[in-house]
Amino acid sequence: MRARPEADQLAARHARPRLRPGRLTEIPDSKVGQLLTLLDRSGLPQQLEDMLRGRPGPPGVPPRTVLAGLMLAVYYTGRATISDAWRILHFRLQPAARAWLGIPESPPSTARGCIAASRRLYRGLDRITTVLDPARCDRRRRMVQAEADIHSAVWDGPSGREAASRLQRLANDLVLVPVRLAQQRGYLRHWKGDVGVDATSIPVLARPDSDRSGTASVEITAGWHYRGGSDEGIFGYSATLLVAAHSRMSEQAAKGRRAPSYPQLCLGLTLDTPTVRTGENAVAVLGRLADLRPPAGTCAADRAYTGCSPEKFQVPARRLGFRLALDYKAADRGIQGSWQGAVLIDGSLACPQIPNALAQATHGMDDKTFRQRLDELKPVVAERLPYFLKLKQNADARGTVRLQCPAAGPSPSVNCPRRERLRPARPSASGPPQTVLRLADRRSRASHPAARPTVQLPDGEWIDPPRKDELPAVCGASAISVPADAAGDLKTAKFRQDSHYLTLAWERIYKPIRSHNEGLNGRLKGAELNIGEPLHRRAPGQVAQTLLVAIMVTVGNLDILETWLYERTGSRLSDTEFESVPAPQDFDPRYVLAPLGTGRHPPGNL
């Protein structure tokens, strides 16, 4: 065997992982066992072993060992790098944990031994990313733009979308394990099913495409992520995060009651090219919640999701059983469309004869003017409320709701001569009921017809009343059906929401949920754990970045759960609680650990 050139040997010595002897504290077997249990209960190691079975080449380090090392590295250092995983696996584990993961009893004692051990871990991660990547390419060099376009186009093809869907499913299997643990132990019993969805930037180390040299980025599927209101982009990926949230209780409901307490965990993750498949990625993580069987709640999303095509986000979200709370851009406020004669105003269907000054009160203002005049708009928005259609029947399995005229029903909110002409009240044998008005009772005063606004009809309708079939359907029918897709009117399907925009009820729903999104981003991009720091996840490629971010979010979920439990009870998660996490349906019992704390060798596939 030929000796390596001196330059290569020098480069190898400089490239080997560095040790900091003062930081080499031992990790207890109990914590290793807990993290291994979370990893095994996700089914991810087992699925990766099945995919790698039969592939050519030496088996190398098992995926279970690679992923466990990365999880330990994130938990103890906040970094998802192979170098940190190598230090922990070979220098910080006790004998029992080494046996669980197939790590040699004694750490490497020479520089060449250290390099060989670290490279085996690198090759183990490379085997995982290779089997999951639909367009594998050499990411140690920049390709010409035409060659990179061929590889990136594979991700948008049928095989690429299938591979991306499998990758996101595996990532969410891991992210949801702490959530299933919290649900199993009853820590989420006060969560009512409200969720917030948001996309956050995931910067990468690679530089973007170069027009000067004609070369593409090493991250061939990355792009520019723009924060709301910013013109400066961040090169990398966009991570769609779903958070368990809740709306703010009304003042009456809050009297004598405490706010619901539960760990605000991340319920789903997708990593994709920025501004591509924004709505589809949100629906993908919403769909995964069906496995948890949460109660039907509200999904709040910012303007990036309001701008999606309705068949990509709004319609599927409604069909999944979620109510929507949305915000609008300046050009989308005011009258947005109509449905069966009812006017769509800022996401709510209203009487077709609503005064135009009320309907267009929010139209034509830019965002800055809109924010400055928000207090002035509140009284005008309150005057709209009586004209909005009333909910007669909640959404069915297909997301269709039934709405009725505001002048209909036992508690009308407006007086409408047209409604009285088309559907007169049936005369009673004892004569008209006597209305008793209690002036001291605010509710009695508000329900009196004199306190309700009266719909102003066109002048010609008083002289020549049109027939019932000549009027809008909402005026003649007892109620109208509004399906989730609102076939024939994309504006209704796109902009309709379930709370009246800018009202106090909307603010109590939308603003707290959005603040929970920002709170989750703050926890996952904090000082100790930061998914937004590219130095903490160096491995290139969308597959590697997805897996590393998923591991970091999983550890972040575990930290949120442990912190929440300790602050309220002063206790920590026990080994028994980790063992109670439900396993996947096709889980291989060979991956189940022995009872934690016993020191026995687990019957894993080592």
pLDDT digits (tens, 9 = 90+) for 438-455: 656 666 566 667 778 999
Asked if pLDDT for residue 399 goes beyond 60, the answer is: yes
Asked if pLDDT for residue 244 goes beyond 90, the answer is: yes
Asked if pLDDT for residue 435 goes beyond 80, the answer is: no
Q: Which residue has the tokens 């005057």?
A: 383
pLDDT digits (tens, 9 = 90+) for 119-138: 999 999 999 999 999 998 88
Question: What pLDDT band is residue 223 in, cutting at 50, 70 and 90?
Answer: very high
Asked if pLDDT for residue 140 goes beyond 90, the answer is: no
Asked if pLDDT for residue 109 goes beyond 50, the answer is: yes
Asked if pLDDT for residue 24 goes beyond 90, the answer is: no
- Cα distance between residue 567 and residue 565, in whole Å: 6
Question: What pLDDT band is residue 55 in, cutting at 50, 70 and 90?
Answer: confident
pLDDT digits (tens, 9 = 90+) for 299-348: 999 999 999 999 999 999 999 999 999 999 999 999 999 999 999 999 99
Question: What pLDDT band is residue 104 in, cutting at 50, 70 and 90?
Answer: very high
Pairing of strands 480-482, 335-339: unpaired
The pLDDT value recorded for residue 8 is: 55
Asked if pLDDT for residue 605 goes beyond 50, the answer is: no
Asked if pLDDT for residue 63 goes beyond 80, the answer is: yes
The pLDDT value recorded for residue 458 is: 87
Burial of 233 (0-12, 13-18, 19+ CB in 10 A): middle
434 against 390, higher pLDDT = 390
State the Cα angle at 133 between 132 and 135, rounded to 5°. 155
The pLDDT value recorded for residue 573 is: 85
The pLDDT value recorded for residue 602 is: 45
3-state SS string over 144-193?
A: EHHHHHHHHHHHHCHHHHHHHHHHHHHHHHHHCHHHHHHHHCCCCCCCCC
Residue 486 identity (one-letter amino acid): A
Q: Which of 544, 545, 546, 572 is nearest to 559 (CA)?
A: 572
Question: What pLDDT band is residue 425 in, cutting at 50, 70 and 90?
Answer: low
Question: What pLDDT band is residue 437 in, cutting at 50, 70 and 90?
Answer: low
Asked if pLDDT for residue 154 goes beyond 70, the answer is: yes
Asked if pLDDT for residue 255 goes beyond 50, the answer is: yes
Asked if pLDDT for residue 599 goes beyond 60, the answer is: no
User: Which of these ranges, 55-64, 85-94, 159-168, has the smallest mean pLDDT?
Assistant: 55-64
The pLDDT value recorded for residue 1 is: 44
- Cα distance between residue 524 and residue 77, in whole Å: 14
pLDDT digits (tens, 9 = 90+) for 385-395: 999 999 999 98
Asked if pLDDT for residue 594 goes beyond 50, the answer is: no
Sign of the four-CA dihedral 266, 267, 271, 277: negative
Q: What CA–CA distances, in Å, run from 438 to 237, 386, 441, 445? A: 62, 22, 5, 7
User: Which of these ranges, 352-366, 409-423, 567-581, has the smallest mean pLDDT?
Assistant: 567-581
Average pLDDT, the chain: 87
Q: What CA–CA distances, in Å, run from 513 to 236, 247, 248, 315, 371? A: 26, 6, 9, 20, 20
Residue 502 identity (one-letter amino acid): L
User: Which of these ranges, 246-260, 349-363, 455-469, 588-602, has the smallest mean pLDDT?
Assistant: 588-602
The pLDDT value recorded for residue 13 is: 58
Task: For residues 53-76, give the mean pLDDT.
Answer: 92
- Cα distance between residue 326 and residue 409, in whole Å: 28
Asked if pLDDT for residue 597 goes beyond 70, the answer is: no
Percentage of the chain exceeding pLDDT 90: 64
Asked if pLDDT for residue 102 goes beyond 60, the answer is: yes
**3-class DSSP state of 244:** strand
pLDDT digits (tens, 9 = 90+) for 559-591: 999 999 999 888 888 888 887 787 766 666 555
Q: Which pTM does this prediction carry?
A: 0.89
The pLDDT value recorded for residue 593 is: 45
Query: Which residues does 117 contact at the CB level (< 8 Å), separation at least 6?
Result: 86, 90, 108
286 against 227, higher pLDDT = 286
Task: For residues 56-80, give the mean pLDDT.
Answer: 93
User: Which of these ranges, 59-63, 86-90, 242-246, 301-305, has the smallest mean pLDDT?
Assistant: 59-63
The pLDDT value recorded for residue 557 is: 97
pLDDT digits (tens, 9 = 90+) for 526-554: 988 999 999 999 999 999 999 999 999 99
The pLDDT value recorded for residue 409 is: 84
